[in-house]
Amino acid sequence: MIATMNLLRISAALMVWSAAQLVSGGSISGTVRLSGGAPAAGVRVAAMVVPGVRLAANGTSELATITQTDSNGRYQLNGIPPGRYFIVAGTVASPTFHPGTLMQTAASIVTVTRDGQPLTGIDIALSAVSANPAGGARKIIHGQMVTENGSPLPNIPLNVTTTGNNFSIEDGGSFRFIAGVGEAILIRDVAGLPPGYFLKSVSYGGRNFGLNAVTIDATPAIVVLTLGFQPSSTLQKVLVRGKVLNVARELDTTSLILRSTMPDGPPLVAQLQPDRSFEFSSIPIGAYRTGVRSDAGTEFVSWSMVVIRGMVSNLTIDLKNNPFPEFQGAGPTRSPFINGKKTEITGVVTQRLTGIAAPDVEYFRMDVKDESTGVVTPWAIYVAHDFQAPNLVIGETVSVPGTLTTDGTHRLGADPF
């Protein structure tokens, strides 16, 4: 008799255990989005037992299960026992309750039934406070914009728009902004990009997020924005006319060069008319480095750019009378003095030190007289650092040691003197 009763107890216990297994696997799924509608990636989501139903040992509401959203803001909570729950997203200190409120009294209650039917479409509009609670840890985020093939960025003003942070791209593609730890940042747009460029992906701490939101964590990582390129053949071609101003006399210029910054973009050359006007009958829209070509065929291309976004009838390109366009702008360049001949020239200063590029790359001019013929030739003198040259006075005679360019122009790279 005792054995029979024990067997019945065991059987009943097994039945209760089995029933619990059948009803404890409910699931809830949905999407968490930022206030602007973008998916919130890497955000904590939990099923919180409605207070008064079950309490944790410390008196707070029990969390039945916890998960994290994927790169598209989707989540799924599994193994939830039958009961009534708040679905919460964001930080522990300031959670957002479904469907999108910080007030528990205004939250919706989700019921998981014993039949274990999955609940879908439980979407949450995440509060900014939940992503980055007031008083939470904030940090300076450093970043870098690069191109997918490693070529230099177009050195034109660029601005980035994000959810909550707008910033400008500085020289060299660097940037920084302030964000909260746990905050989801979505890069919305890069304003000012030339035609043919587009934002391809965003990475953070070695992880590629594509174009999805990036959740800032406490690691000392940087955000990298990678720009891609459209094929040049797909870009609209337009007519461009204009005039070149202030061409340095030392360059013996005959033609204008526009060199595309796109990887497969061809260089374009237009003959300069006597009034320095030019015409490109069919040029792809995009960003172009400007330069000139001499009668001998030598090219002098700067890193100063023009951006063509449509047909232009009066484009003005000001070369600023710069005899060293190769050094103008932020891009790398091959020095025209490599393998040049060492010499020293003496002449009368006609132009004081004039800046070319930051921080202290400069040049000056002087007239050099050939004593045997009496011919006076204007020369341009390149100075890599302004401290290499003394205080120059127009009209004084100076002797300058240095290296001649190899292209036959009257340009000298000065040594300290």
pLDDT of amino acid 320: 92
How far apart are the C-alpha atoms of 67 and 47, rounded to whole Å?
Answer: 9
Rounded Cα gap, residues 175 and 6, in angstroms: 73
CA distance 70 to 72: 5
What pLDDT is attached to residue 3? 42
Would you state the pLDDT for residue 44?
85
User: In sequence order, what DSSP letters do the residues of 306-343 get, joined into one string?
Assistant: EEE-S-EEEEEEE-TT-S-GGGSSSS----TTTTPPEE
**If we measure between CA atoms, which residue out of 96, 119, 110, 85 comes closest to residue 44?**
96
Beta-ladder partners of 196: none
Backbone angles phi, psi at 23, to 5 degrees: -110, 0
Strand, helix or coil for residue 283: strand
Residue 184: predicted pLDDT:
74
Q: Check if the beta carbon of residue 227 is closer than 8 Å to that of residue 197.
A: yes
Q: Do domains 235-327 and 342-414 have the same CATH topology?
A: no
For the chain, percent helix, then strand, then coil, each to nearest 5?
A: 10, 45, 40
Architecture of domain 138-229: Sandwich (2.60)
* Chain centroid, CA 20 distance in Å: 53
CA distances from 137 to 16, 131, 185, 217 (A): 47, 11, 15, 10
From first to last of its 417 residues, the chain has per-residue pLDDT tens of 444 444 334 343 333 333 333 334 689 999 998 876 778 887 889 999 997 654 444 444 678 888 888 888 899 999 899 999 999 998 776 789 999 988 888 899 999 988 878 999 999 998 766 665 544 566 788 999 999 998 888 888 899 988 767 888 987 899 988 877 777 788 878 999 999 999 999 999 888 989 888 878 777 889 999 999 999 899 999 999 999 999 999 998 999 999 999 988 878 999 999 999 999 999 999 999 999 999 888 999 988 899 999 999 999 999 999 999 988 875 667 788 989 999 999 999 999 999 987 778 899 999 999 989 999 999 999 998 878 887 899 999 999 999 999 988 999 999 988
**What is the C-alpha to C-alpha distance for residues 338 and 334, in angstroms, rounded to an integer?**
8
Look up the CATH architecture of domain 21-131.
Answer: Sandwich (2.60)
Strands (E), 59-104: 63-68, 74-80, 83-89, 96-97
Per residue in 247-264, is it b (16+ CB within 10 Å) or e — as a string? Answer: bbebbbbebbbbbbbbee
Cβ pair 312, 379 in contact under 8 A: no
CATH architecture of the domain covering 235-327: Sandwich (2.60)
Q: Which of 279, 327, 262 has its CA nearest to residue 300?
A: 327
Within 10 angstroms of residue 323's Cβ, the number of other Cβ atoms is 25
> Options 2.40.50.180, 3.40.50.300, 2.40.50.730, 3.20.20.70; which CATH number does 342-414 get?
2.40.50.730
pLDDT at position 131: 62
pTM metric for this prediction = 0.67
Q: How far is CA 396 from the centre of its chain?
A: 49
Residue whose tokens read 């003197």: 417
Q: Which two tokens stand for residue 274?
A: 């006597």
The rounded distance, in Å, linking the Cα atoms of 164 and 184 is 10
**pLDDT of the residue at 55:** 45
pLDDT at 360: 83
Residue 24: exposure state from Cβ atoms within 10 A (0-12, 13-18, ≥19): middle
C-alpha angle 332/337/339, rounded to 5°? 115
Domain range list for the chain: 21-131, 138-229, 235-327, 342-414
User: Using CA atoms, how far apart are residues 360 and 386, in angstroms rounded to an integer?
Assistant: 6
Cis peptide, bond prior to residue 99, ω within 30 of zero = yes
Contact call for residues 281 and 311 (beta carbons, < 8 A): no
